[in-house]
């Protein structure tokens, strides 16, 4: 039976007889993969136990030499030498851009050449999210449809919604590649029925991404809800008597703002004034609050005693 051929990379010691060489395994350069946020700095370290009087070299993904030992080979001021010894070559790249991503190679030029790869991953920082669909007021009991969008993330970011302190479940998320072919635009939609209480409510869209390093980036918008008006009449004093002064205050609320009217003359602050009450003033007084959402009537029965 034929035995399988076993090969081993080794070098022969110079003081050993040629008939019985002593094989010393050649040490392999070691590197590590790195992840860096766009605009940040990445450090690439290459180490070897047995340099064998050879220099270490770093090359970029395009196979351009960056440093050979302590000698700069590429004119890029972002790339700096951090440490150069027979056993180590460490460089740094500052102001990292997305195109810096890829496999970097550390080589030691022995026979044969030994190499180690370091994969550099560049994270794209998502832009501040924008909310669309809140620009016009929404009528109460209608459905609000809002969209949140954030561009520039790599990998694609995650979006989440809140209305006040309550989480909103999205109706779907869309991920589209940006024109640069490297980053992504993420869009998320929510739908919910609005009520009168939602007027001036704050809706927040937050983007989560590993490049933000446990922080978050968000945008908040206030809702404007149009709702039907309300009206009520308040007397001052509460129990009017003949011969006394009486004020009837008509309070109307609504969005948009409401207007009021009564059978008698109304001052600009919606107060009806009786300077000196008598029994002939007894009767039912009506205040009407009107807006584009409709009208409502408040009544007050005055009985002068």
pLDDT digits (tens, 9 = 90+) for 121-131: 999 999 999 99
Domains of the chain: 29-123 (2.60.40.10), 130-223 (2.60.40.10), 228-302 (2.60.40.10)
pLDDT at position 269 is 60
pTM: 0.73
- How far does the chain reach from its first CA to its final CA, in angstroms? 127
Cβ atoms of 146 and 131 closer than 8 Å: yes
Give the phi and the psi of residue 177 in degrees, each rounded to 5. Answer: -70, 135
Which residues have C-beta within 8 Å of that of residue 254, sequence separation ≥ 6?
A: 227, 228, 229, 230, 289, 291, 293
Q: Which of 114-118, 151-155, 289-293, 300-304 has the lowest mean pLDDT?
A: 289-293
Alpha helices in the chain (DSSP H): none
Number of alpha helices (DSSP H) and beta strands (DSSP E) in the chain: 0, 26
Mean pLDDT of 286-304: 87
- Looking at residue 13, what is its pLDDT? 43
The answer to whether 117 and 59 have CB atoms below 8 angstroms apart is no
Tell me which residue has tokens 């070098």. Answer: 11
pLDDT above 70 for 3: no
Q: Using one digit for the tens of pLDDT, what is the confidence trace for 243-290?
A: 889 999 988 888 887 665 444 444 456 788 899 999 888 899 998 888
Residue 262: how many CB atoms within 10 A of its CB? 17
């Amino acid at each position: 039976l034929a035995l399988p051929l076993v090969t081993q990379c080794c070098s022969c010691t110079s003081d050993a007889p040629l008939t019985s060489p002593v094989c010393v395994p050649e040490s392999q350069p070691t590197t590590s993969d790195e992840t860096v946020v766009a605009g940040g700095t990445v450090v690439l370290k290459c180490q070897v136990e047995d340099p064998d009087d050879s220099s270490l070299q770093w090359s970029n993904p395009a196979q351009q030499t960056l440093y050979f030992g302590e000698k700069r080979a590429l004119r890029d001021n972002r790339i700096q030498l951090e440490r150069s010894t027979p056993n180590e070559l460490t460089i740094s790249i500052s102001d990292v851009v997305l195109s810096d991503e890829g496999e970097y190679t550390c080589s030691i030029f022995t026979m044969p050449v030994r190499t180690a790869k370091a994969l550099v991953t560049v994270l794209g920082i998502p832009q501040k999210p924008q909310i669309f669909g809140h620009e016009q007021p929404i009528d109460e009991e209608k459905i609000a449809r809002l969209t949140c969008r954030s561009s520039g993330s790599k990998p694609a970011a995650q979006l989440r919604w809140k209305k006040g302190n309550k989480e909103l479940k999205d109706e779907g998320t869309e991920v589209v590649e940006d024109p640069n072919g490297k980053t992504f635009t993420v869009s998320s939609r929510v739908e919910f029925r609005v009520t009168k209480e939602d007027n001036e409510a704050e809706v927040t869209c937050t983007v989560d991404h590993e490049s933000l390093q446990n922080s978050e980036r968000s945008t908040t918008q206030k809702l404007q809800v149009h709702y039907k008006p309300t009206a009520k009449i308040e007397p001052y004093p509460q129990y009017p008597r003949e011969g006394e002064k009486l004020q009837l205050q008509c309070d109307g609320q609504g969005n948009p703002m409401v207007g009021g009217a009564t059978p008698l003359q109304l001052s600009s602050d919606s107060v009806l004034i009786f300077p000196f009450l008598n029994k002939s003033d007894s009767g039912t007084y009506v205040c009407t609050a009107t807006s584009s959402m409709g009208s409502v009537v408040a009544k007050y029965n005055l009985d002068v005693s």
